[in-house]
Amino acid sequence: MRGYVMICLFVWLGVAQAMGQSRSIDRSQQFFVGESIPEMVTMPIVNWEQSEIDLGRYKDRVVVLEFFDTYCATCIEGMPHLQQVQQQMGDKLLVLMVTWQSKEVIEKFYRDNRFLKENNVKLPTIVDDTLMRKYFPHQGVPHTVFLYQGKVQAVTYPDYVKKKFVDELYTTGKLSVPQKDDFKEGTKMFEEEVGLIGSVRLTGYQESLEEKPGLTIERDSVSGVYKTYFYNVGILNAYKAILAYIKKPTFILTEQRILWKVKDPSKYRYQEGSGGSHIWLTQHGISYERRSKVVGDLSDQAKLVLNDLNSLLGLSVYWDTLEMDCLIVRKARKKVKSVDAVKTGKKIENIGILTFLMDYSGNYPPIIDESGYTGGLTIANYASIEELNLQLRYYGLEIITGRRPIEILVLEEL
């Protein structure tokens, strides 16, 4: 793990939180699917043969506008795929990244981003954008717009930037893909029922509903009925959220900490690189509602939801322990007096954050802390456990390999 993982994690958390907040966005100039778009002014662009682009010249191509910013890890991870589809489709397609960020910031981004350089990615990018986001407002990125023959053909997800969908639009002039709407007003799974006392309902993916990954509890002021719900979530992610309300997690639930006793794990969690997370979600996502006159606290309510899911899905999902190879933080046998890295590293509040980050990186086996150390740390970049130990010994700590009973999550089909 490198030191920049810490920065990426905190930035990602901050961006995710900001995107989840309600924002006032001007939608007065918004274009919808099927509408013709007007002639546009030229816009500044980088990684292009000219410094400006006129979209009016490309009505005979399928144009994909991919809204992003440099803080969006998901956007960046998807850029090699977008470039690959562009290369496959040639003059049938024009993929354009679109961002509000400045030319200077984006040029530096392409110049310095290691992931893009390793994958040789250099996509044409509209910069300093104000017009496109007025025409296609959104609450979060990535956000994907298909244009063809002067019309808006789809407002959707980057999963659908694939050869078969581009060919479909280019050949027929039509495109049938799910629509992304960041401004859905309704959150009703079913119409209200007069005299309803209580119910539990579980369905597959509901295109009309906004994705609501965590448990939400609302009370109807007229009927007094409480609604506990989540919408359009993968099964594993639903269980992870519910279990976190019951018992606060102290580690990242990596694949190594999951024991699958099921025929096909791909039904329960999306596997990176398997065709697009939103496509998978429309096939395997679930939506849930419980209505009742009385609710307990969030932990008690989560236990009820857990029982509902187990019963309706035919699963038994529970915590267990399994002895396995792992990393162990312990007191070092010998403490070093000083280390240069401590002077230049990044401050970490406690050992728990360090083990959390190591779990998050996915580069190591499960890690547990047996040191009893409660102080802070300053840790610089490291490329191996040996390099990390050189720094930890300054604090009287070290990491060794061993076998221990590790807490795991079991998903078992009944």
Query: Is pLDDT at 187 greater than 80 in this prediction?
Result: no
From 128, 156, 172, give the residue that closes a domain: 172
- Per-residue model confidence as pLDDT tens digits over 92-140: 999 999 999 999 999 999 999 999 999 999 999 999 999 999 999 999 9
pLDDT at 338: 66
On whether residue 187 sits in a domain, the answer given is no
State the residue range of the domain holding 345.
321-413
Q: Check whether residue 409 and residue 364 sit in a common domain.
A: yes
Cα separation, 75 vs 68, in Å, equals 6
Mutual angle of helices 163-172 and 73-89, in 10-degree steps: 50
Q: Check whether residue 230 and residue 293 sit in a common domain.
A: yes
Contacts of 279 (CB under 8 A, 6+ apart): 159, 160
Query: Is pLDDT at 24 greater than 80 in this prediction?
Result: no
Query: Is pLDDT at 21 greater than 70 in this prediction?
Result: no
On whether residue 259 sits in a domain, the answer given is yes
**361 against 123, higher pLDDT:** 123
On whether residue 19 sits in a domain, the answer given is no
CATH code assigned at 96 = 3.40.30.10
On whether residue 9 sits in a domain, the answer given is no
Q: Rounded to whole angstroms, what are the CA distances from 386 to 46, 303, 399, 400?
A: 43, 43, 9, 10
Helices (H) and strands (E) in the chain, counts: 12, 17
Confidence band of 341 (pLDDT split at 50, 70, 90)? low
In this prediction, residues 292-315 reach a mean pLDDT of 95
Confidence band of 19 (pLDDT split at 50, 70, 90)? very low
Q: Check whether residue 131 and residue 214 sit in a common domain.
A: no
In this prediction, residues 230-245 reach a mean pLDDT of 96
On whether residue 251 sits in a domain, the answer given is yes
User: In percent, how much of the chain has pLDDT > 70?
Assistant: 92
Q: Check whether residue 113 and residue 41 sit in a common domain.
A: yes
On whether residue 118 sits in a domain, the answer given is yes
Cα separation, 318 vs 408, in Å, equals 9
- Per-residue model confidence as pLDDT tens digits over 194-220: 777 889 999 999 988 888 999 999 998
Q: Check whether residue 57 and residue 144 sit in a common domain.
A: yes
Q: Check whether residue 45 and residue 158 sit in a common domain.
A: yes
What is the average pLDDT value for the chain, to the nearest integer?
A: 90
Query: Is pLDDT at 184 greater than 70 in this prediction?
Result: yes
From 285, 313, 341, give the residue that closes a domain: 313
On whether residue 188 sits in a domain, the answer given is no
For residue 215, which of 284, 279, 306 has the smallest C-alpha distance?
306
From 172, 188, 210, give the residue that closes a domain: 172
Q: Check whether residue 373 and residue 394 sit in a common domain.
A: yes
For residue 349, which of 384, 310, 328, 378 has the smallest C-alpha distance?
378
Q: Check whether residue 385 and residue 278 sit in a common domain.
A: no
For residue 308, which of 207, 218, 239, 217 has the smallest C-alpha distance?
239
Cα separation, 332 vs 15, in Å, equals 38
On whether residue 4 sits in a domain, the answer given is no
Query: Is pLDDT at 249 greater than 90 in this prediction?
Result: no
Q: Check whether residue 92 and residue 230 sit in a common domain.
A: no
- Per-residue model confidence as pLDDT tens digits over 32-85: 999 999 988 999 999 999 999 999 999 999 999 999 999 999 999 999 999 999
Q: Check whether residue 44 and residue 99 sit in a common domain.
A: yes
Query: Is pLDDT at 86 greater than 50 in this prediction?
Result: yes
Number of domains in the chain: 3
Q: Check whether residue 36 and residue 160 sit in a common domain.
A: yes
Q: Check whether residue 300 and residue 205 sit in a common domain.
A: yes
Query: Is pLDDT at 12 greater than 70 in this prediction?
Result: no
Query: Is pLDDT at 6 greater than 60 in this prediction?
Result: no
